[in-house]
Amino acid sequence: MAKSILGRKFDFGFRMDLMRKDVRLFLAEAERVGVATFAASVVKQFFDHAVAKGRGGQDMSRVALELEALAGVEIARRA
């Protein structure tokens, strides 16, 4: 997926709303069995943000555009 994002091709092939659902299921199961998942909670928040902005039907790799907008930077290759 990194090559796609660096190449500005956001076509990984999996919808953002489905990825959000999967992350939510993962977090629920992790909580049920008592496993800490620190980073997954943050990942879920990024997908929640993108879906709330109406981007749920877009490719999940487009979450990178949301991260760029929040940070005020563009993800790019090093020169």
Count of positions (residues) in the chain: 79
Average pLDDT over residues 22-47: 94
Domain 2-71: homologous superfamily in CATH: N-(1-d-carboxylethyl)-l-norvaline Dehydrogenase; domain 2 (1.10.1040.10)
pLDDT computed for residue 30 by the predictor: 96
pLDDT computed for residue 18 by the predictor: 96
Average pLDDT over residues 56-77: 90
Q: Under a CB-based contact definition with an 8 Å cutoff, are residues 56 and 14 in contact? A: no
Instruction: Tell me the average pLDDT of the chain.
Output: 91
Q: Which are the contacts of 42, defined by CB distance < 8 A and separation ≥ 6? A: none
DSSP assignment of 23-62 equals HHHHHHHHHHHT---HHHHHHHHHHHHHHHTT-TTSBGGG
Q: Under a CB-based contact definition with an 8 Å cutoff, are residues 26 and 37 in contact? A: yes
**Tens-place pLDDT, residues 31-43:** 999 999 999 999 9
